[in-house]
Amino acid sequence: MTPSIDGAPGSLVGSEDHVAHQPTDPTAPGEDVRLPRSAFERPRRVLQPLQTFLATEAAGGLVLLAAAVTALVWANSPWRGAYETLWRTGLTLGAEGWTVSQDLRHWVNDGLMALFFLVVGLEIKREVLTGELRTIRAAALPVIAAVGGMVVPAVLYLALNAGGNGRRGWGVPMATDIAFALGVLTLAAGRARGGLKPFLLTLAIVDDIGAIVVIAVVYSRSVAWTPVLVAAALAGVAVLLRRIHVRAGAVYLALGVALWVAVFESGVHASIAGVVLGLLTPAAPFQRPAAVSREAHRVADQTVDDPWPPDADAPQWLSLARLSREAVSPLARLESALHPWTTFVVVPLFALANAGVRLSGDALRGAATSPVTLGVVAGLVLGKVAGILGASALAVRARVAALPEGVTWRRLAGAAAVAGIGFTLSIFVAELAFPSGVLLDRARLGVLVASVIAGGLGFAILRGDRPRGDRRAGDEGRR
């Protein structure tokens, strides 16, 4: 069971099950305990944050695929008019004289996607503090590979578009879609993925950092400095409040919304506000677990089973609930609260709103000869593989890094191909690089085609490489 707080999609559990799964606890036979079955049926397991992350990513990839296919079918069906009308519907919030007014597509891209980038910021921070990126030795290979996998596609794209008006799109083939990449890896390699998964995860996170820098620096509209200063001041206030141990979530929520508005007004892409907030989130818990354990014992001893009035113990329970949340770092808490939402709601919504490209004969013919489409496809499929493999080979040859245990060059090639699934972030960058129109459509088409080719290629390489006895184990990822 993934750690999900009340209200996360995963927690919407009906309890007809509870009756069927009466826990059989030898210490208290026949007692109506009404605990959710997860606490009893699932054996306790120490959920490594990484494992949680990977477990949801595989499922997330499938949901995302469904959303993308739905968008494509819808946009090319007789109801395509409804598709455009829906995403062009305006949503306005505001008071006289000051309003935020955008169509639904942009609310998804600028507003909801800020949550996605918030989670990305949290992941980056965690990787740097406690994950692979903590030590130079472990980080060297994925970082170098990622840099190679960003530079080569961009160069390839620019070479194909030199002098053309598609030049601005060089950021499109640089990105990697974590959800899809890990989904394909899980489906293809099953348990044999070994050291490949941390490698790909770290690589994708470095790719994310690259994409964020590109979004912030290259694709920002003309930047207004006053809102930027306001945003910086808000971030400073957040740091200050953290330092003096202010913990009220409402305070940080308000600061976060204000920061988003400031960044939105500045012309820097609003998603950057999410990244900044993610990086600012503390990674250390407020309370020592030992102190909370003591409190837990105390509260468990002092409360009674049938208090009168019925809520006599409520303050004690609520205070223990608060303390045990404070035994978890805000970073992990926020991640476990938001992750199901971004994976299963925000990113699929993004795909639904943005992947609906018209696939008429004319459009396809135009795209087949367009340097933009070709550049994106070449960058994502060839550039990624060449860049990642080349940079890794150089690093290993120069003895800067070594291949992780159990990772062969062939499997590394598979991972490199999978990293060419640019999907979400590539489309995101394309939206920023091109005003809506024929170039945007061609870039999006390129991303879709390249993602399918890269995914298929990666799947084939990884699947073919797997030891025989492991075939069945690979299907576990499908669940």
Partner 1 sequence: MRVERGEELRLPWSRSDRPIPRRVIRPLQSFLETEVASGAVLLAALVIALVWANSPARGAYEHLWSRHLLVRLGRWGVGDEVRGWIRDGLMTLFFLVAGLEIKRELLTGELRNRRAAMLPAGAALGGMVVAALLYLAVNPRSPAAHGWGAAMPTDIALALGVLSLALPRAPSSLRVFVLSLAIADDLGTIAAVALFYSHRLAVGSIALAIGIGAVVFVARRVDIRSSVVYGSLGTAMWLALHGSGVSPTLAGVAMGLLTPAVPFHRPRAVSREAHRIADETVDDPSPPDADAAQWLELARLCRGAVSPLARLEAVLHPWTSYVILPLFVLADAGVRIVPHALTTSSSERVVAGMLLARAVGKPLGIVLGSWVTVRLGRVGLPSGLTWTRILGIGAAAGVPFSVSLFVAELSLPGPLLDAARVGIVVAAGLSGLLGFLLLRTRRGAAGSS
Instruction: Please report, as residue ranges, which positions from 383 to 422 form the binding site for partner 1 (by CB under 8 A).
Output: none
What separation, in Å, do the N-terminal and C-terminal C-alpha atoms of the chain show? 13
Instruction: Please report, as residue ranges, which positions from 26 to 55 form the binding site for partner 1 (by CB under 8 A).
Output: 27-28, 31-35, 38-39, 44, 46-49, 52
Candidates 43, 290, 369, 437; binder of partner 1 (CB under 8 A) is 290
Instruction: Please report, as residue ranges, which positions from 138 to 177 form the binding site for partner 1 (by CB under 8 A).
Output: none
| Choice between 53 and 157, CB closer to partner 1 | 53
Stretch that binds partner 1, among 72-80, 220-228, 331-339, 381-389 (CB under 8 A): 331-339
Least distance to partner 1 from the beta carbon of 419, Å? 25
Residue 98 to residues 94, 104, 458, Cα–Cα distance (Å)? 6, 19, 49
135 binds partner 1 (CB under 8 A): no
Task: Tell me how crowded residue 331 is: count the other CB atoms within 10 A of its CB.
Answer: 24
Q: List all residues 6 or more positions away from 99 whose beta carbon is below 8 Å from its beta carbon.
A: 92, 93
253 binds partner 1 (CB under 8 A): no
Candidates 81, 301, 397, 469; binder of partner 1 (CB under 8 A) is 301
Q: Quick one: DSSP state of residue 404?
A: P
Q: Which tokens go with 331? A: 């970073």
- Contact code string over 78-117 relative to partner 1, x by CB under 8 A: -----------xxxxxxxx--x------------------
Candidates 155, 332, 363, 394; binder of partner 1 (CB under 8 A) is 332
What pairs with residue 286 in β-bridges? none
Stretch that binds partner 1, among 55-63, 191-199, 330-338, 368-376 (CB under 8 A): 330-338
Candidates 307, 406, 456, 464; binder of partner 1 (CB under 8 A) is 307
Do the Cβ atoms of 231 and 266 come closer than 8 Å?
yes
Residues 395 and 389: their CA atoms lie apart, in Å, by 10
Do the Cβ atoms of 11 and 4 come closer than 8 Å?
yes
Instruction: Please report, as residue ranges, which positions from 178 to 237 form the binding site for partner 1 (by CB under 8 A).
Output: none
Stretch that binds partner 1, among 136-144, 149-157, 292-300, 375-383 (CB under 8 A): 292-300
Q: How many residues bind partner 1 (CB under 8 A)?
A: 91
Residues 252 and 77: their CA atoms lie apart, in Å, by 44
Least distance to partner 1 from the beta carbon of 199, Å? 18
Stretch that binds partner 1, among 73-81, 244-252, 365-373, 388-396 (CB under 8 A): 244-252
Do the Cβ atoms of 420 and 430 come closer than 8 Å?
no
Residue for token pair 């499929």: 381
Least distance to partner 1 from the beta carbon of 314, Å? 4
Candidates 136, 257, 314, 402; binder of partner 1 (CB under 8 A) is 314
Candidates 70, 76, 130, 220; binder of partner 1 (CB under 8 A) is 130
- Integer Rg of the chain from CA: 24
Q: Which tokens go with 133? A: 């990126």
Provide the CB-side half-sphere exposure for 138 (13 A, CA).
Answer: 17
Residues 432 and 82: their CA atoms lie apart, in Å, by 24
Candidates 12, 29, 43, 369; binder of partner 1 (CB under 8 A) is 12
257 binds partner 1 (CB under 8 A): no
Provide the CB-side half-sphere exposure for 277 (13 A, CA).
Answer: 28
| Choice between 34 and 471, CB closer to partner 1 | 34
What length is written for the chain? 479
